[in-house]
């Protein structure tokens, strides 16, 4: 099964410009070919190609699945980007494969990285979505200042901040997940952790301090652990 | 805390030749410095450096921890190397951080990769062990033919083969882990999965076919999932 991004209408679907180019020029697809298209919002259509131009490949819908493999929870991870982009990119790919709905990049007190390449990151998330045949495309948000982010109103979310500060009480993630949250937001700090001030400010804003276990994890490993554990416990 | 590999004797410890060089030439360490040394077999010593030469940095043991953070299970993952070495290397680093005891590389029917750089892989595992401050160094075994490997006698091990073959019955990994195995061996197939013959031969050799969930995982994601789940359920 080969999956493409595009718009899905009543009886037809149109691949995005980039995907149209990929289908016609790179894969040299033809009229009559059958492929799958998703809008990244849960719809998955099998289509038969009816017309091909450089900018728009179009087809008739043969069958349509809505809410395709919809998870029964919503996971938002906000992460301080790692110094090495490669590590962050690997996290994004794995998180997309395992199951994540929204990703925000945090600029924190100890962050070494002050910028990210959003376009490149979106491409990685899109590729992982297609490769793992998912019909939901995770939402990617740009770098946001920690203090602005935690003051955002996250209605209905169980809000957590993972940290390693010894003398601030933490709840094991396992306990948080056992309460079966429908929407969960987990903050993952940079190399060097969140600052004490950040942790306390988060708690003032109704975040629960959590621990991911006894091990010393790198940033991207901690984030992966959070994604994996949420999937394992809530799916 | 800075961790080095070396030999640990009754009252003294000697860094390995490579670590001695690293300590004296790269880090420009001095006599009197206090560092931590592990033999990779569970011993962790804090030492005070007493003598420095290019090939052997030596110190007196100030305190010694045995069975340092010993896990209560033994996990052996045998994996068909991925086409892209980078993916395999990332898996090795993450698995070491989370917890793995032994890794074997499998040459399978659908394997595209026929060789691995064992020395490079050992270096990655060593670096991850040091970085995550562990006193147990995972054992790394060279590429082994699938049919030879599954006929090896794995006494006391719960033996599993993860696969995606629809019409061969599979037990969820969750069920296998709920029986609290002390020693567990999990085989992870290549892109394109194990062949039907391989799965059947494994079952003849008392391997249980397992599923890791409904998702379609890349090889290294499946392996990571197995390591995470084992840690999450058994630790």
Given an 8 Å threshold on Cβ–Cβ distance, is A229 in contact with B232? yes
* B114 and B227 together in one domain: yes
Domain boundary residue among A65, A84, A113?
A65
> What range defines the domain where residue B107 resides?
74-234
Q: Are residues A8 and A105 in the same domain?
A: no
Q: Same domain, yes or no, for B17 and B79?
A: no
- A9-13: long-range contacts at Cβ-Cβ below 8 A with a sequence spacing of 24 or more? A11/A60, A11/A61, A12/A47, A12/A50, A12/A58, A12/A59, A12/A60, A12/A61, A13/A37, A13/A45, A13/A47, A13/A58, A13/A59, A13/A61
CB spacing of B132 vs A224 below 8 angstroms: no
Do residues B142 and B55 both lie within one domain? no
- In angstroms, the separation between the Cα of residue B144 and the nearest Cα of chain A is 27
Give B 72-131 residues with CB within 8 A of chain A.
90, 94, 97-99, 131
How far apart CA B135 and CA B36 sit, in angstroms, is 10
Query: In the predicted model, what is the mean pLDDT of residues B109-136?
Result: 93
Residue B108 · residue B189 · CB < 8 Å: yes
Residues A24 and A86 in one domain: no
State percent of chain B over pLDDT 70: 100
- What percent of chain A is modeled with pLDDT above 90? 90
Q: Do A40 and A108 fall into the same domain?
A: no
Contact A225 B228 (CB under 8 A): yes
Q: How many interchain CB pairs under 8 A, A with B?
A: 52
Whether the predicted pLDDT of B126 surpasses 80: yes
Interchain pair A215, B131: CB under 8 A: no
Question: Which residue reads 């790198």 in tokens?
Answer: A218
Q: Do B121 and B157 have their domain in common?
A: yes
Contact B213 A229 (CB under 8 A): no
Q: What is the least distance, in Å, from the CA of A52 to any CA of chain B?
A: 30
Residues A194 and A143 in one domain: yes
CA distance B204 to chain A (A): 30
Written as one string, the DSSP assignment of chain B is: --EEEEEE-SSEEEE-HHHHHIIIIIS---TT-EEEEE-SBS-EEEEEEEEE-SS-EEEEEEEEESSTT--SSEEEEEEPPPSSHHHHHHHHHHHHHH--SEEEEEE-TT-S-----HHHHHHHHHHHHHHTT-SBPPEEEEEEEHHHHHTS--TT-EEEEE---TTS--EEHHHHHHT--SEEEEEE--TT---HHHHHHHHHTTPEEEE--SS---HHHHHHHHHHHHHHHH-
Residues 9-68 of B with CB under 8 A from A: none
Length of chain A measured in residues: 235
At which of A65, A97, A115 does a domain end? A65
Give the nearest chain B residue to A232 (CA atoms): B229
Q: Are residues B131 and B46 in the same domain?
A: no
Does any CB of chain B come closer than 8 Å to the CB of residue A229? yes
Per CB-CB distance under 8 Å, the chain B contacts of A218 are 97, 131-132
Q: Helix/strand/coil (H, E, C) string of B114-145?
A: CCCCHHHHHHHHHHHHHHCCCCECCEEEEEEE
Whether residue A15 sits in one domain with residue A78:
no
Domain ends where: B43, B65, B87? B65
**Mutual angle of helices B219-234 and B85-98, in 10-degree steps:** 0
Q: What is the pLDDT of residues A156-188, one digit of tens each?
A: 999 999 999 999 999 999 999 999 999 999 999
What is the pTM for the complete model shown? Answer: 0.93
CA distances from B116 to A155, B120, B151, B186 (A): 50, 9, 22, 20
Give me the pLDDT at residue A155, please: 87
pLDDT confidence of residue B22: 93
For B226, which residue in chain A has the nearest alpha carbon? A228
Q: Do A99 and B215 touch (CB under 8 A)?
A: yes
Q: Which pLDDT belongs to residue B104?
A: 97
Predicted confidence at residue B110, as pLDDT, reads 94
How high is the pLDDT of residue B55?
87
Q: Do B121 and B21 share a structural domain?
A: no
| Confidence (pLDDT) at B235 | 86
Whether residue B52 is found in the same domain as residue B93: no
Contacts of B232 in chain A (CB under 8 A): 228-229, 232
* CB-CB under 8 Å, A94 with B221: yes
Task: State the CATH number of the domain containing residue A42.
Answer: 2.40.240.20
- The CATH number that applies at residue A169 is 3.40.1280.10
Which residue bears the tokens 């395709």? Answer: A68
| B214 pLDDT higher than 80 | no
User: B214 and A69: CB-CB below 8 Å?
Assistant: yes
Rounded to 10 deg, the angle between the A85-98 and B219-234 helix axes is: 80
Task: Return the closest-CA partner of residue A185 out of A120, A114, A106, A94.
Answer: A106
Q: Is B228 in Cβ contact with A213 (below 8 Å)?
A: no
Interface check A191 vs B, CB under 8 A: no
- Who among B132, B221, B225 is closest to A215 (CB)? B132
A175: CB partners within 8 A, 6+ apart = none
CB contact under 8 A, B232 and A228: yes
Name the residue among A131, A132, A221 with its Cβ closest to that of B94: A221
pLDDT in tens, B131-165: 999 999 999 999 999 999 999 989 899 999 999 99
| Spatial separation of the C-alpha atoms in residues A210 and A208, rounded to whole Å | 6
The shortest CB-CB distance from B94 to any of A99, A224, A235 is to A224
What stretches in chain A show pLDDT beneath 50?
none
CA torsion angle A169 A173 A176 A179 (round to 10): -150
Number of domains in chain A: 2
Of A62, A106, A101, residue with least CA distance to A201: A106
Q: What per-residue confidence (pLDDT) applies to A214?
A: 74
In chain B, what percentage of residues exceed pLDDT 90?
A: 90
CB burial of residue A221 (10 Å; 0-12, 13-18, 19+): buried
Side-chain half-sphere of A10: how many Cα atoms within 13 Å? 0
Q: What does the alpha-carbon distance between residue B144 and residue B114 come to, in Å, rounded to a whole number?
A: 10
Chain B CB contacts of A131 under 8 Å are 218
Select from A116, A213, B10, A235 the least CA-distant residue to A224.
A213
Interface test with A, best of B232, B234, B235 (most A CBs within 10 A): B232
Whether B184 has a pLDDT exceeding 90, the answer reads yes
Q: A2, A88, A128, A221: best mutation site toward chain B, by most B Cβ within 10 Å? A: A221
Residue A185: name the closest of A35, A109, A75, A22 by CA. A75
Q: Give yes or no for B178 touching A (CB within 8 A).
A: no
Residue-level pLDDT at A2: 86
Instruction: Report the DSSP beta bridge partners of residue B101.
Output: none
Over residues B16-63, the pLDDT tens digits come to 999 999 999 999 999 999 999 999 999 999 999 999 988 899 999 999
Interface pTM (ipTM) of the complex?
A: 0.91
């Amino acid at each position: 099964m080969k999956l493409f991004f595009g718009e899905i209408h009543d009886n037809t679907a149109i691949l995005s410009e980039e995907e149209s180019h990929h289908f016609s020029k790179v894969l040299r697809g033809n009229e009559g070919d059958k492929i799958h298209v998703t809008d990244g919002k849960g719809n998955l259509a099998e289509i038969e190609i009816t017309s091909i131009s450089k900018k728009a490949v179009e087809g008739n819908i043969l069958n349509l699945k809505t809410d395709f493999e919809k998870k029964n929870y919503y996971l938002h991870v906000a992460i301080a980007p790692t110094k090495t982009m490669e590590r962050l990119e690997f996290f994004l790919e794995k998180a997309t494969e395992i199951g994540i709905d929204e990703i925000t990049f945090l600029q924190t007190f100890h962050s070494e990285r002050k910028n990210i390449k959003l376009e490149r990151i979106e491409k990685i998330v899109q590729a992982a979505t297609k490769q793992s045949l998912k019909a939901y495309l995770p939402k990617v948000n740009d770098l946001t200042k920690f203090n602005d982010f935690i003051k955002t109103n996250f209605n209905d979310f169980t809000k957590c901040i993972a940290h390693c500060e010894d003398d601030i009480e933490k709840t094991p993630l396992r306990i948080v997940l056992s309460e079966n949250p429908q929407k969960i937001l987990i903050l993952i700090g940079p190399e060097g952790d969140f600052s004490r001030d950040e942790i306390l400010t988060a708690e003032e804003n109704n975040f629960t301090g959590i621990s991911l276990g006894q091990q010393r994890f790198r940033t991207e490993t901690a984030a992966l652990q959070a994604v994996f554990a949420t999937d394992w416990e809530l799916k």
